[in-house]
Amino acid sequence: MTTDLFDQRRVSRKLIDLSGVWRFREAVLDVNESQIITHPEGATRMYERDGIFFKHEGENPTGSFKDRGMTVAITQAVREGARAVACASTGNTSASAAAYAAQAGLRAIVFIPSGKVATGKLAQTLAYGALCLQVRGDFDAAMRLVLEASQKLGIYLVNSINPFRIEGQKTIVWELLQDLEWNPPDWIVVPAGNLGNTSAFGKALVEARDAGWISKMPRLAAIQAAGANPFYRSFRENFAQRHRVAAETVASAIRIGDPVSYDKAVASIRATNGVVEEVTDDELMIAKRDIDRMGIGCEPASATTLAGVRKLRAAGVMRDSDRIVCVLTGHLLKDPDAIAKGDIIEIEPDIRAVEKILHHRATEDTEGPL
C-alpha cells in the first residue's frame, strides 16, 4: 500500500472510499467489503486559523470522533454474531454506539454516569433507540460495571478498550496527514480522557513511519483537564507510577479519573517523544470561546487542545514557527449548556426598538453597528 492508493480513493465515489476510515481499509481491518457497516464517517474538514490547523472530528455523523472507531467495532460485532453491544460513556461513545447499532440491527445498552452527560449527547443516544442505564456514580464506576456486565452476560463491549475501536481511530491521524499532503506537522495535539485516542495516535504514527508514508515523526501532545489529570501526573514522574483521581471538570467528555488505555498511551508518548499537559477549566473555556468565535466551534473537551498549545508555547516546548494540528473531538452542539452567554435582547416587534438598540451600539462601538 502506498499513499497514492489512498489519494486515488479520496476522489472515488464508492461508499467505502468516501469513508475516511475505510479509505485506509487494508491497514484497519482485514474484512470482506460487503460486511462493512459504514455511515460513511470521517472525511472531516481541516481548518487553518492564525497559523494553527484544526482537524474537526466533530463533523462526523454523530458529532464526534467516536464514529471512526465505532464503524470498525460494530462491523466486527456483527462478524462475531453479537446481538447486543454495550459501553460505558460520558455521552459521545453512547451516541455513536446507538447510531451504528441501529444501522446494524443490534441492541445497544449504554451505561452513563447519572446526571453527568451533556444534553445533546443524551438526546442522541435516546433518539437512536439505545437502552440507557444511568449509573449512580461517576464514569469510572460505570466503566467497571460495564466490564463486569460484558464478561458475565456475554454482551459485546464497544468501549475503546476494544482493539477494533483503536484501529478505526488511527485514521484520524492518517487522514490529517493526507490533508497535509503527507507532509507531517511538528505536533499533533489531542484531548486525553480514557486515553483511547492517545493510544491510537501513537500506533498510527508508528505504522505510518514504518510503511514509509511519512519520513518524519510528529510529536504528540496529550492535554488533560487539571481536575481529571491522572495521566499528566504520571508523565511528570516519567511514568514511574499510574495514578487514579476523583475526576471533576466542566469538560464532561474527559471527566475520567482512571483511564483504561493507560499502558498503550504511555507507549504512544514514548514512541513520539510526546508530552502531556494539563489545563484548568478557565483556560479551556477561554479557548473554547475563541474556537467558537472563529466560526468553527467545539465542545469543551476539544478546546483543551488550543489551551494546551498556548501553555506549551508559553513554556517554550512548542515554538511559534512549529506546524501544529489540534484535533477537535466533538461538535459545538453536543453541550449547549457550556456555550458562553451571548447577545440576546428581547424587543417589541417595532422598527423603533431596532433603531434604538443599533444607535446605542453605534455610539459604544466606533466600527458601527453592522
Ligand X SMILES: *Cc1c(COP(=O)(O)O)cnc(C)c1O
The size of the interface with ligand X (CB under 6 A), counted in residues, is: 19
Q: Least Å distance between CB 177 and ligand X?
A: 19
CA-to-CA distance for 209 and 273, rounded, in angstroms? 14
Residue closer to ligand X by CB (options 214, 260) is 260
| 125 makes contact with ligand X (CB under 6 A) | no
Q: How many CB atoms lie within 10 A of CB 144?
A: 16
Cβ atoms of 67 and 43 closer than 8 Å = no
Which residue among 301, 318, 324, 325 contacts ligand X (CB under 6 A)? Answer: 301
Residue closer to ligand X by CB (options 9, 192) is 192
| 193 makes contact with ligand X (CB under 6 A) | yes
CA-to-CA distance for 193 and 301, rounded, in angstroms? 9
What is the C-alpha R_g of the chain?
A: 21
Name every residue whose Cβ is closer than 8 Å to that of residue 299 and which is 6 or more positions away in sequence. Answer: 58, 118, 251, 253, 288, 329, 330, 331, 332, 334, 335, 338
| 194 makes contact with ligand X (CB under 6 A) | yes
Which residue among 192, 204, 287, 325 contacts ligand X (CB under 6 A)? Answer: 192
Q: Least Å distance between CB 232 and ligand X?
A: 12
Residue closer to ligand X by CB (options 254, 326) is 254
Cβ atoms of 105 and 81 closer than 8 Å = no
| 92 makes contact with ligand X (CB under 6 A) | yes
| 197 makes contact with ligand X (CB under 6 A) | yes
Residue closer to ligand X by CB (options 19, 94) is 94
Q: What is the largest CA-CA distance in the chain?
A: 68
Which residue among 40, 184, 191, 227 contacts ligand X (CB under 6 A)? Answer: 191
B/e letters for 20-58, b = 16+ CB within 10 Å, e = fewer, are: bbbbbbebbbeeeeeebbbbbbbbbeeeeeeebbbbbbb
Residue closer to ligand X by CB (options 230, 330) is 330
Residue closer to ligand X by CB (options 37, 326) is 326
The position carrying cell 447519572 is 114
Q: Mask 127-156, x = binds ligand X (CB under 6 A)?
A: ------------------------------
Task: Name the residue with the smallest CB distance to ligand X.
Answer: 330
Residues 229-268 that bind ligand X (CB under 6 A): 253-254
Residue closer to ligand X by CB (options 185, 191) is 191
CA-to-CA distance for 200 and 227, rounded, in angstroms? 24
CA-to-CA distance for 75 and 19, rounded, in angstroms? 14
**How far is residue 2 CA from its own chain's centroid?**
27
Helices (H), the chain: 3-10, 15-18, 66-79, 92-104, 119-127, 139-153, 163-179, 196-210, 230-236, 262-271, 281-293, 304-314, 351-364
Q: Least Å distance between CB 197 and ligand X?
A: 4
| 299 makes contact with ligand X (CB under 6 A) | yes
* From 146-154, 294-302, 305-313, 338-346, span contacting ligand X (CB under 6 A): 294-302
Which residue among 44, 124, 171, 302 contacts ligand X (CB under 6 A)? Answer: 302
Chain contacts with ligand X (rule: CB under 6 A): 64, 66, 92, 160, 191-198, 253-254, 299, 301-302, 329-330
